[in-house]
Amino acid sequence: NTVSKESAERLEAEYRKNIADYNELIGKYSGLQESRNDLSRRNESRLRQEGISLRENLADARQQLTIVGEERNNLLISSEQKNQEIQTLTTQMTTLRLEGNQTHQELTRIQEERDERITPLELQELLTNLNQREEEVNSLKNKLNQAEEGKLTQKLRSEENRLEKMAKKLEIDWDIVQVLRDNYEELIRARKNFNRDEIKICQNNIETIRQSLLGGDFDTDDLQDVAEKCEKVAELRIELEQQLEARIEVPLNNN
């Protein structure tokens, strides 16, 4: 009886263990089923989203293709219009060229007819009159230039006299004043020629003369007046020189 009881208990324990193992397997199986279903749902959702995205991309691609096609058609139309415009302009240019040639031929014909009506003597008289008129114009120009030169010369002499009187009043050596005037003249020429090196040299020379005069107890304002008067005289000297050169060149050019 004791053996039978132990066997029964062992069998009972094994049975319960088998039941527990079975239930565990059932649980694992259910978990696997749920995992499979969840994975299936996820894959289905992902595939659905990818399908939607692909359809949207396809629609965008079709729309873009339509736009590109329309632009291509517009470009073809525009190119055709440009070709037509070029052809039209070419035709117009050809027409204008022909009309220009015809006009030139007509002018040549009219000139020939006019020349036939003018005798050699009349032509000579016309040329003589033209030469006389040209000589009269040149004479008037020379007289005008001489008058302007005379006026400018008088103004220059007046300014030089004022400068000389100013130098005597301040007891400044006239040779120094002349050197200062000449440096201003060279400075003006250098500025017109955009010669930076020469400009710098002249400015340094002017400043050196100015500093040497300041060392002689001259008033700063008086020295400034002398410098300005030297610059004014230098400008007038250059202007007069240019007028003389221009008057000399006119007859040479006419010859």
Q: Is residue 48 part of a domain?
A: yes
Q: Is residue 30 part of a domain?
A: yes
Q: Is residue 131 part of a domain?
A: no
Assess contact for 138 and 254: CB atoms under 8 A.
Answer: yes
Q: Are residues 154 and 224 in the same domain?
A: yes
Q: Is residue 144 part of a domain?
A: no
* Burial readout 85-114 (b: 16 or more C-beta within 10 A, e: otherwise): eeeeeeeeeeeeeeeeeeeeeeeeeeeeee
Q: Are residues 158 and 242 in the same domain?
A: yes
Which residue range is the domain that position 199 belongs to?
150-254
Assess contact for 228 and 181: CB atoms under 8 A.
Answer: no
The confidence score (pLDDT) of residue 204 equals 95
**pTM of full prediction above 0.75:** no
The confidence score (pLDDT) of residue 253 equals 47
Q: Is residue 115 part of a domain?
A: no
Q: Which residues of the chain have pLDDT under 50?
A: 3, 252-255
Assess contact for 172 and 222: CB atoms under 8 A.
Answer: no
Q: Are residues 6 and 82 in the same domain?
A: yes
Considering 76, 93, 110, which residue would you say is the last residue of a domain? 93
Number of structural domains found in the chain: 2
Q: Read off the tokens for 25.
A: 């397997």
Q: Is residue 47 part of a domain?
A: yes
pLDDT tens track for 212-247: 888 877 888 999 999 999 999 999 999 988 888 876
